[in-house]
Amino acid sequence: MSDDRWDVIIVGSGLNSLVCAALLAKRGIKPLVLERNAVVGGCIRTEELFPGYLHELMASWYPLFLGGGAYAALKEDLARAGVEFLNNGYTTGVVLPDGRSVALKQDIADAIERLDQLAAGDGALIGAMADEIFNQNGELLFGLLGGSPYQFSTYKLLFQQWRKKGVDQLLQFAAQSLTPFRTWSQQHVHHDLTEALMAPWVLHSGLGPQDAGSALIGKLTFAAVVAGGMPVVKGGGSQLVDALVSLIQQRGGLVKTNISVTKILLQQGKAVGVEAGSASYHANKAVVCNVTPSQLYQDLLPDMPAPVIKAAKNYRYGRGAMQIHLALSAKPAWMNEEMLQVPLVHLASDLDQVSLSVMQAECGLIPSQPTVAIGQPAAVDPSRVPAGGWILWLQIQDMPRGLKGDAKGEIAVDKEAGWTHEVKEHVADRILAQLEQVLPGLHELIIGRHVLSPMDLQGLNQNLVGGDIYSGACSLDQFFWFRPFAKIGTTKGHQTPIKNVFHIGASTHPGPGLGGGSGLLVADLIK
């Protein structure tokens, strides 16, 4: 097969792209993956920022992948390639600014016991939540998230659930699915530690506690983490990327970097390949694009029906995020030593603080007290640090995309200049001052600091528009049947107006996260 003629061309090399390409290659369909950057992997990027310290610049944790169909289909191949996923028996926890904290193990029964010690009823609440997610509604929930919205199997599932549950139960499920997390928490949660423990997980679904649907998604995310853990790839996520690339190329495919695709080539209304500068690459079966709707319908396929172009222009992006990577000379001094074993700890005060910081960010303001996700990958994978060292992977998901000011009035902001180096470093100083309250002496341990603003994240991956790490707001009007937007003519879900052009990635169903779901679904569509 010549270098410029392939069965399928895949634009972009994120996890969904690599999953799709690997599955196609296993079936004897030859894929060509074209990546505009010099590095493959999309949001999976492991770098030795400081000597001996392996940092995940963006994504880090793999509960969605290990629990999904993409991993099930590739598990044996990845194991043969030496990919090892690690869990350490702990999952998540929270620390309040006054130092109080709680850690959870990868054990629903243990979580029930620990939270019952905080407040009578909070443990039972976790048990009821797990039962609701995995038993009462598990078949429906995971069936909807794991299937394509517009396929017959989805409508068959809904019909079966109607026969099984009846109209009343389905309507009750729909009502619960619309409830904001803030409303649900105020009705059911008793202790401020439990409230602060759960509320930040809503942010990991791209929502805020006050958003419709955030109760269901927040409970689903939290329960899945406690049950399934917070696994990492031994040696860093790039080990997974390298294994997938190797699998693709061993079976006749190819992955090329520094190739910026500018146009999908059409003949008689059918895609026949792509153009990248002066080069062209031909596809016999399909072109698959792991891009945002804006890039797909305004750049790669500019001559689409007017309603499709309008829908792409109206596609909305969510809040920005920041990443702060710290290399430490020693383990931090948690007041509760058990916290050293927790992969991902949140620093939050309560539901009000989480809600307020989200609203400040959505209003264009640097939050006065951001919610901080404190990742400790070395707690799960000690190979990432030198002996005695430690890494803190800090993610802040309540930052403004368009910067208008500072909620505390302390950081000078130029609206035109936006996220300058000075602004992002001042924000990082604020966040580290928050951490110092619960990790006394932290500043003395820092031997390396690397700050990524929302615009830096977009620079690393153009799908993260304005630093939106979910490639589009995940509100109900942009989810499931409506991601990236509702059916318009022949445009629905992963199918575009061009019969053999498919759309994958975080901007499509089942949404963001390291799951590989859309890559799996589209691979099944290509014959």
Mind listing the pLDDT tens digit for each residue in 354-407? 999 999 999 999 999 999 999 999 999 999 999 999 999 999 999 999 999 999
pLDDT band at 142 (very low <50, low <70, confident <90, very high): confident
Average pLDDT over residues 151-159: 85
- β-sheet bridge partners, residue 391: 327
pLDDT at position 172, please? 84
Chain length of the chain: 527
**Amino acid, single-letter form, for residue 83:** V
- Lowest mean pLDDT, pick from 73-82, 130-139, 302-311: 130-139
Q: Is the pLDDT of residue 468 over 50?
A: yes
pLDDT at position 2, please? 40
Average pLDDT over residues 102-126: 90
pLDDT at position 157, please? 85
Residue 390: closest CA among 343, 337, 340, 327: 327
- Lowest mean pLDDT, pick from 59-63, 223-227, 347-351: 223-227
Which token pair is 29?
């369909």
Average pLDDT over residues 315-319: 96
Q: Is the pLDDT of residue 1 over 60?
A: no
Which token pair is 78?
């990845």
pLDDT at position 124, please? 87
CA distance 25 to 31: 7
| Of residues 173 and 453, more confidently modeled | 453
Contact 451, 426 (CB under 8 A): no
**Helix, strand, or coil (residue 489):** coil
Percent of the chain with pLDDT over 90: 81
Measuring CA to CA, how many Å separate 422 from each of 249, 287, 321, 328, 453?
43, 42, 17, 23, 11
CA distance 251 to 525: 20
Question: What is the DSSP code string of 13-49?
Answer: -SHHHHHHHHHHHHTT--EEEE-SSSSSSTT--EEEE
pLDDT at position 152, please? 85
- Lowest mean pLDDT, pick from 1-5, 160-164, 432-436: 1-5
pLDDT at position 179, please? 93
pTM of the model: 0.94
**Amino acid, single-letter form, for residue 162:** W
Residue 364: closest CA among 427, 314, 324, 407: 407
Residue 473: closest CA among 397, 375, 393: 397
Residue 212: closest CA among 183, 244, 251: 183
Neighbouring C-beta atoms of residue 164, cutoff 10 Å: 11
pLDDT at position 366, please? 98
Q: Is the pLDDT of residue 3 over 60?
A: no
pLDDT at position 317, please? 96
Helix or strand holding residue 447 (H, E): strand 446-452
CA distance 88 to 340: 11
CA distance 305 to 310: 9
CA distance 450 to 26: 39
**Helix, strand, or coil (residue 355):** helix
pLDDT at position 83, please? 98
